[in-house]
Amino acid sequence: MRCINEFDSDFNNSQPKDDLRQFAGRLIENWMLKKICALIASNQISENVQRKPLLLKDIYIDILFKKQDWPKDWGLYFKIPDNH
Residue 13 falls within a domain, yes or no? no
Residue 16 falls within a domain, yes or no? no
Query: How confident is the model over 17-26, as pLDDT tens digits?
Result: 788 878 788 8
Q: How far is it, in rounded angstroms, from Cα 48 to Cα 80? A: 32
Residue 4 falls within a domain, yes or no? no
Residue 5 falls within a domain, yes or no? no
Residue 36 falls within a domain, yes or no? yes
Residue 9 falls within a domain, yes or no? no
Number of domains within the chain: 1
Supply the range of the domain harboring residue 66.
24-78
HSE-CB of 23 using CA atoms within 13 angstroms: 13
Q: How far is it, in rounded angstroms, from Cα 49 to Cα 43? A: 13
Query: How confident is the model over 28-84, as pLDDT tens digits?
Result: 899 999 999 999 999 999 999 999 889 999 999 999 999 999 999 898 887 878 876
Residue 47 falls within a domain, yes or no? yes
Residue 58 falls within a domain, yes or no? yes
